[in-house]
Structure 1
Amino acid sequence: MTDLRLQNLLDRQDILDCLTRFSRGMDRFDRAIYLSAFHDDAVIAAGPFVGSAADCWDWAKPMHEAGQVLTHHSLLNNTVEIDGDTAHSETYYQFVARNHPWEEGGGETVMLAGGRYIDRLERRGGAWKIALRTNIIEWSCIQPAMPLPFGDVPDIGANGVSARDQSDPSYQRPLLNVRKANVPR
């Protein structure tokens, strides 16, 4: 019984790591990390798109790049039913995006959306990856963006700025704080 429970926990963690790779890959515009969450023959249904993971990347990345300054795909409640080398998962998510101005002279907006990823995952060659995904969008709204806190600090430094590529601080190894303190003492 203990060995089965331990294996179930390990499988659930591997599945959660897989789901997280999708989110990180999309937010950091890291195609390799994004694709590592899917089997090569996976099928994704997202909004009007239905197709392969690679084709979904080719559809979604330019759309996010043109429309948003940044995105956060946050994973929330997650349930997983494992049956041998197949698992079914439901993951609630919240999507937050800081949008480029939609018109000349307009201000940035923030889009919020939420829904669920319904996935069939398969363990092949010892690795859990998504074989089929349905993205259900259940709500959304757009709000005016507010100024970023501390956005006017002149010496924010190299590891204090978000980037949608491998210059983002999350890729830095070892992570170092190269910023100078700006708080008066």
Structure 2
Amino acid sequence: MTSTDTDRQARLESLLDRQDILDALTRFSRGMDRFDRELFLSAFHTDATIAAGDYVGGPTDLYDWASAMHETGQVATHHNLLNHTVDLDGDTAHAETYYLFVGRNRDESNWIAGGRYIDRLEKRDGQWRIALRTNVIEWSGLVPTMPLPFADVPDIHQNGAPSRSGDDPSYRRPLTNTRAPHIPA
């Protein structure tokens, strides 16, 4: 194998590791937003430590605490992942991921917050998962409430209504469209 091939192979392995790390972070976000406990927990090693707001502890208790908080406070949440950097060092990685949190509160106000997830991830048994997380919250505020768009379209949820469960359309396989073609005037 030439040095060019070796360099290329190392870059490919690094890319795959980075993608697996981003996939773990995405499982956390999607698992929280869909109240999918199994998916959420798959982002963490079982002995992980997480510091998020008042909470400091392991992933199972974090899910129970956070899902109860979001169930009580919001009808919908979006944990959006933004800028993402990873420093790889063998089977350990340090990642910084900017996030934008948006919640539709039960009182119909909208909460928005931004910050960064600072994670140490470890690759164990071929799986990248979070071993330590610090949630740095940098700002927060309320956004004026406006009507949800397209609320007056009679069949808007015919393909499935948003849900914080496995009933959400994102879990449907295969995904299909049951709405008739329509181009608004």
Give the structure-1-normalised TM-score.
Answer: 0.93
Task: Please tell me whether the aligned partners of residues 97 and 110 of structure 1 are also in contact (alpha carbons under 8 angstroms).
Answer: yes
Does residue 94 (structure 1) correspond to residue 94 (structure 2)? The answer is no
Q: What residue number does 1:63 align with?
A: 69
Could you give the per-residue CA deviations for residues 126-165 of structure 1, whole angstroms, max 9, x where no partner exists? Answer: 0000000000100011022210111122222342421110
Does residue 155 (structure 1) correspond to residue 161 (structure 2)? The answer is no
Distance in 1, matches of 2:180 and 2:102, equals 29
SS of the equivalent of 1:66 reads helix
Give the structure-2-normalised TM-score.
Answer: 0.93
* Structure 1 residue identity aligned to 2:98: Y
CA RMSD of the aligned region, Å?
A: 1.2
Q: Describe how 1:8-157 pairs up with structure 2 within 5 A.
A: 8-101=14-107, 108-157=108-157
Shift of 1:113: 0.2
SS of the equivalent of 1:159 reads coil
Could you give the per-residue CA deviations for residues 52-81 of structure 1, whole angstroms, max 9, x where no partner exists? Answer: 000001111011001101000000000000
Q: What residue number does 1:167 align with?
A: 167
Distance in 1, matches of 2:35 and 2:20, equals 22
Distance in 1, matches of 2:97 and 2:38, equals 22
Identity of aligned residues (%): 65
Runs of 4+ more than 4 Å apart:
181-185
Task: Please tell me whether the aligned partners of residues 159 and 168 of structure 1 are also in contact (alpha carbons under 8 angstroms).
Answer: no
Q: What residue number does 2:10 align with?
A: 4
Shift of 1:179: 2.2
Q: What residue number does 2:4 align with?
A: none
Shift of 1:178: 1.4
Instruction: Return 1-10 or 143-152, whichever deviates more.
Output: 143-152
Task: Please tell me whether the aligned partners of residues 160 and 179 of structure 1 are also in contact (alpha carbons under 8 angstroms).
Answer: no
* Structure 2 residue identity aligned to 1:168: D
Alignment length (residue pairs): 179
List runs of 5+ in structure 1 lacking aligned partners: 102-107
